[in-house]
Amino acid sequence: MSLKDHILTEKLPNHLAIIMDGNGRWAKQKGMLRVIGHENGTKSVREVVEASAEIGIKHLTLYAFSTENWKRPKIEVQTLMKLLVKSLKKEIKTLQDNNIRLMAIGNLMDLPKKAHQELMEVIDKTKNNTHMTLTLALSYGSREEIIKVIKELTDKVKNNIISIENIDESIINNHLYTQNLPDVDLLIRTSGEQRISNFLLWQIAYAELYFTDILWPDFKKKDLYDALINYQNRERRFGKTSEQLS
Ligand code: IPE
Ligand code: IPE
Ligand code: MG
């Protein structure tokens, strides 16, 4: 029996999110430039996207570029944006072949024009795909997202579109970038860092967290299966007692 056969399809996370970290260190360990790490990271993206679709995960969200990542050296930021355009052009076929819908969250207007255009094109071309949604977090920061929600809601209150009493979890959910996505069930972070780095703070309120030392360019199908099996062996109680669940 292979590792994959140990995964129970009825217990898959509905929404899997991944903080893809460690490209720079991967390259450094090999005496190579950080950009080579990012290039190899895109191979892991393809592998994980394909594996997730194959297993039957409905929603996969990948942290590709944070609001804080703009502070990196200009040359690295430029390279990452070029790599994004290149990957979108190259992977549209993978998305279509696997019936995957591409979406994006974040302050997308901050992306360079070319990257923004290419992204919108792929989002549009794949909009009718139904097997899985792949959401790229680009120029994404959870605090920025929450500020956006507060601004939109206060504006609606001010203009009598909603009343303060109406504000509840579902209204907040509907104003987040992730409005069409369910809560995150499993959050994976690679590279050994055990932090959230401003990713989906609201949406991971009850997510299971999984940290692995594997650097993102080394993260392959087998590592995803390991994470899923680990997840499936946990008891998600959502505040209840263990006895209440059985
Ligand atoms: C993740 O790898 C990719 C991005 C954040 C864009 P890093 O570039 O953060 O790699 P490390 O953490 O420096 O090794
Ligand atoms: C988080 O990784 C952002 C992405 C993976 C896109 P970072 O490498 O930017 O996070 P920190 O700075 O180590 O927290
Ligand atoms: Mg990093």
For residue 188, give the 3-state DSSP assignment. Answer: strand
Q: What is the pLDDT of residue 246?
A: 84
Q: What is the 171 CA–ligand 2 centroid distance (Å)?
A: 29
- What tens digit of pLDDT does each residue of 178-188 get? 999 999 999 99
> How far is Cα 67 from Cα 78, in angstroms, rounded to an integer?
14
Amino acid, single-letter form, for residue 192: G
Backbone angles phi, psi at 192, to 5 degrees: 90, -15
Active site residues: 21, 69
What are the structural domains of the chain? 12-141+183-235 (3.40.1180.10)
- What tens digit of pLDDT does each residue of 191-217 get? 999 999 999 999 999 999 999 999 999
Q: What is the pLDDT of residue 81?
A: 98
Q: How far is CA 47 from the centre of its chain?
A: 15
Q: Is the pLDDT of residue 240 over 90?
A: yes
Q: What is the 1 CA–ligand 1 centroid distance (Å)?
A: 35
Q: Which residues of the chain form beta strands (DSSP E)? A: 15-19, 59-66, 100-105, 132-140, 186-189, 208-211
What would the mean pLDDT of 168-178 be, rounded to a whole number?
A: 98
pTM above threshold 0.85: yes
Q: Is the pLDDT of residue 158 over 90?
A: yes
**Alpha-helical runs (H) found in 98-196:** 113-125, 142-158, 169-175
Taking CA atoms only, the protein residue closest to ligand 2 atom 9 is 69
Residue with tokens 């609201």, as numbered in its chain: 202
